[in-house]
Amino acid sequence: MDYNRDTPYPPGGVIERDEEGNPTCLLLAKPNANILYSTLAKGPKLSYSDQLNSTRQFLWELNRFGITSVIDAGGGSQNFPEDYTVMGDLAKRNLLTVRIAYNLFTQRPKHELEDFASWVNMTKPGQGDDFYRMNGAGERLVFSAEDFENFSEPRRRHDRNLIKQFNNPITWDTAIEEACNCPSRRLVILDNATGKAIEHEFEKAIVVFGYLPAASTALSICFLKPE
pLDDT, tens digit, for every residue of 142-180? 877 766 555 555 555 444 555 555 556 656 666 677 666
In a domain, 65, yes or no: yes
Q: Residue 93 is part of which domain span? A: 48-142
Nearest Cα residue to 1 out of 30, 45, 35, 51: 35
Model pTM? 0.59
Residue 175 CA to residue 159 CA, distance in Å, equals 6
pLDDT value for 212:
43
Helix (H, G, I), strand (E, B) or coil at 17: strand
In a domain, 169, yes or no: no
Nearest Cα residue to 176 out of 3, 187, 8: 187
pLDDT value for 18:
85
In a domain, 79, yes or no: yes
Q: Are 38 and 29 in contact (CB under 8 A)?
A: no
In a domain, 221, yes or no: no
In a domain, 81, yes or no: yes
In a domain, 168, yes or no: no
> Which neighbouring-strand residues pair with 19?
none
Domains held by the chain: number: 1
pLDDT value for 84:
92
**218: phi > 0 → left, psi -120 to 50 → alpha, else beta; which?**
beta
Q: Which residue ranges of the chain lie beneath pLDDT 50?
A: 157-159, 208-227
In a domain, 118, yes or no: yes
In a domain, 41, yes or no: no
